[in-house]
Amino acid sequence: MKKLGILVNTDKNLKAVQGIAKAASAKGLEVEIFAMDIGTKLLENPEFVALKDLQNITMSYCALSCENVGTKTEGLPDGIARGDQYRNTLMHHSADKSIVL
């Protein structure tokens, strides 16, 4: 199965992330979303968090970025993994294509 990595490093592109992730999932692609820097602010948005419920989508975030920008992660549902930049590296390594939003 083909895999798309989506690195989210800004909180400005929620609709683009949603559209791309939903379209890729609907086509049967695996999608891995990794949030870092100010992009972790999207973890406070239920619309972003809901992407984890789509078929073939996995999500994770950089815990250090959350600390640095003050993102609240309490209460995040299971299925969104707390991680670090190693997780970001693994996503890019395993993905057939990656995009940055």
Domains of the chain: 3-100 (3.40.1260.10)
Angle CA(73)–CA(77)–CA(80) in degrees, nearest 5?
A: 75
Residue 3 pLDDT greater than 80, yes or no: yes
**What pLDDT, on a 0 to 100 scale, did the predictor assign at position 64?**
97
**What pLDDT, on a 0 to 100 scale, did the predictor assign at position 40?**
98
Nearest to 6 by CA among 74, 67, 92, 83: 92
Give tens-digit pLDDT for 22-33: 999 999 999 999
Percent of the chain's residues with pLDDT above 90: 99
Torsion of CA 82, 84, 45, 95, to 10 degrees: -100
**What pLDDT, on a 0 to 100 scale, did the predictor assign at position 1?**
75
Task: Enter the pTM of the model.
Answer: 0.95
